[in-house]
Chains A and B, each alone.
Chain A
Amino acid sequence: MNIKEYISTGILEAYVLDELSSTERIQVEKDLTDYPQLRVELELIETTLEVLMQTASVTPRARLKENILSLAGEGAKQGRIISIAVSPMWRWAAAASVVIALVASYLAFDYRDKWISSTVALNDLIDSNQQIAQDYNNVNQRLDKLQNDFSIIENNAFSKIILKGTENNPEALASVYWNSASQEVFLSIQQLKELSAENQFQLWALVDGKPIDMGVFDANSAGLLKMNLINNPDAFAITIEPRGGKASPTLETMQVIGMVNKG
């Protein structure tokens, strides 16, 4: 596994945000035990986050602490022993009430136990329910994305421009879907080479001979990528630039290019 590339995707930050699907999360947890370097990186991320959050501190109102501590500590109250000098009849009555009190406390304890264990079970259920809901949302989002992608590919308002490999990389291939009315641009990657973590691909549009930045992306991006809007482009091209992109293209690194058919 290429650790640098793995880290540069930001997957560990998403893990720290608790925003991975359960499959992804389980995989990351496994990777963390398999690759100590990942664990070191994770700790750096977590420490940075903690320092940031301490910087962002807002002290809550003082009464909150008491509330929390008392709510967290709700437990059985202590009884007190009171001695009463009384007649034998009262002794019997007292003895009987002690028995009743004992039975009642036992029942109270028993119910409290049951209540606690059902609260725990309920919390577990709520947790797993949240997990399922999250997974469901993830799947739904992916489905939405697929349907969306499909509708763009099918839509006649989009013209498809095939970007073919340059001599830098003749096998490279990508397509751009451009809507002349809405100016929307979507990119589909068929074949682009792997980049080191420091670099990213950048899409450019050529308008009246001038290159316009259309956004950066990584080679492993799946499905259609929504790029910047553009009006009346003559051509599209992809270059390799430092991560985050540049203001003007490094033409020597051009990977693919395709002309817009204006017929």
Chain B
Amino acid sequence: MVAQLKAKNKVALNYLYDHYSAALNGVVSRIIKNDDLAEEVLQDAFLKIWNRIDSYDPAKGRLFTWMLNLARNQAIDKTRSKEISKGKKTDDIDNLVGNADKQNSSEMFVDSIGLIEVLDKLPDDQKFVVDYLYFKGYTQSELAEDYDIPLGTVKTRLRMAMITLRSIMNVN
């Protein structure tokens, strides 16, 4: 798969898009609330994946992780650019994924009910870090700073969240 991508085989890009565009868009479209901007970011992310596939090294992690980070970083960069004012800081702490999704009334979010169910099974403090780090575009240090949580606590909470998620979703 990676070899096909590196050989610039468009069939491989087609495959990537079919299997991962929705997962990557799940992150991008939650970080960026404007549908058109989110689409632009996702497109840029895919073109980056395609153009920079040579810098992906399987020894350092999975292809999905690499793509996810490209997309997440692209989205975070966008929120910092002048095109978007960072309204997220005023979000109430209780305003977790469920609420955020309801604000986007578009039918695109129908398929994310599964996410709300999964996150609702996490203890509140773990749900908070997963939600803010992956779906609200915060970095770990921003989260620590903005919410006065020690950085080490942010890290261990994410760690515990991943363990809880592992058993909720039966990952072995």
Can you sample 22 A-B contacts with CB below 8 Å? A8-B159, A13-B155, A19-B141, A32-B60, A46-B65, A52-B130, A52-B134, A53-B23, A53-B26, A56-B135, A57-B23, A57-B25, A57-B26, A58-B26, A59-B111, A60-B25, A65-B21, A72-B47, A123-B51, A123-B52, A215-B150, A217-B152
Q: What sequence of 0s and 1s flags, for each residue 1-15 of chain A, a beta carbon within 8 Å of any chain B beta carbon? A: 000000111111111
Q: Is B23 in contact with A50, judged by CB distance below 8 angstroms? A: yes
CB closest chain-A residue, reference B13? A72
A69 located at the interface, meaning its Cβ lies under 8 Å from any Cβ of chain B in the complex: yes
The residue in B55, B60, B112, B171 that gathers the most chain A C-beta atoms within 10 A of its C-beta is B171
A-side contacts of B141, CB under 8 Å:
19, 141
B139 located at the interface, meaning its Cβ lies under 8 Å from any Cβ of chain A in the complex: yes
> Nearest Cβ distance between residue B115 and chain A, in whole angstroms?
4
Contact of B10 among A15, A50, A60, A72 (CB under 8 A): A72
Q: Is B166 in contact with A48, judged by CB distance below 8 angstroms? A: yes
Q: Is A56 in contact with B61, judged by CB distance below 8 angstroms? A: no
Contact of B43 among A19, A29, A64, A243 (CB under 8 A): A64
Q: What sequence of 0s and 1s flags, for each residue 52-82 of chain A, a beta carbon within 8 Å of any chain B beta carbon? A: 1111111111001101110111000000000
B-side contacts of A216, CB under 8 Å:
153
Q: Is A69 in contact with B115, judged by CB distance below 8 angstroms? A: no
CB closest chain-A residue, reference B22? A57
Q: Is A19 in contact with B139, judged by CB distance below 8 angstroms? A: yes
Contact of B140 among A14, A53, A65 (CB under 8 A): A14
The 3 closest A-B pairs by CB, nearest first: A10-B155, A10-B159, A57-B22
A-side contacts of B115, CB under 8 Å:
52, 55-56
B-side contacts of A73, CB under 8 Å:
10
Q: Considering the complex, which residues of chain A in the window 1-41 have a beta carbon less than 8 Å from any beta carbon of chain B?
A: 7-19, 29, 32-33
Q: Is B10 in contact with A58, judged by CB distance below 8 angstroms? A: no
Number of A-B contacts (CB under 8 A): 171
B interface, over-half SS: helix
B169 located at the interface, meaning its Cβ lies under 8 Å from any Cβ of chain A in the complex: yes
Q: How far is the CA of A61 from the CA of B68 in the complex (A)?
A: 19
A87 located at the interface, meaning its Cβ lies under 8 Å from any Cβ of chain B in the complex: no
Q: How far is the CA of A49 from the CA of B46 in the complex (A)?
A: 19
Q: How far is the CA of A260 from the CA of B57 in the complex (A)?
A: 55
Q: How far is the CA of A59 from the CA of B171 in the complex (A)?
A: 23
A172 located at the interface, meaning its Cβ lies under 8 Å from any Cβ of chain B in the complex: no
- Known A-B contacts: A8-B159, A54-B22. Give 10 more (CB < 8 A): A10-B157, A44-B171, A48-B169, A49-B65, A53-B26, A60-B22, A65-B21, A69-B17, A218-B156, A226-B150
Q: How far is the CA of A56 from the CA of B26 in the complex (A)?
A: 5
> Nearest Cβ distance between residue A82 and chain B, in whole angstroms?
29
Q: Is B43 in contact with A68, judged by CB distance below 8 angstroms? A: yes
A-side contacts of B13, CB under 8 Å:
68-69, 72
Q: Is A58 in contact with B108, judged by CB distance below 8 angstroms? A: yes
B56 located at the interface, meaning its Cβ lies under 8 Å from any Cβ of chain A in the complex: no
B37 located at the interface, meaning its Cβ lies under 8 Å from any Cβ of chain A in the complex: no
B-side contacts of A221, CB under 8 Å:
150, 152
Q: What sequence of 0s and 1s flags, for each residue 103-147 of chain A, a beta carbon within 8 Å of any chain B beta carbon? A: 000000000000000010001000100000000000001000000
Q: Is B23 in contact with A54, judged by CB distance below 8 angstroms? A: yes
Q: What sequence of 0s and 1s flags, for each residue 76-109 of chain B, a beta carbon within 8 Å of any chain A beta carbon? A: 0000000000000000000000000000000011
Q: How far is the CA of A35 from the CA of B139 in the complex (A)?
A: 28
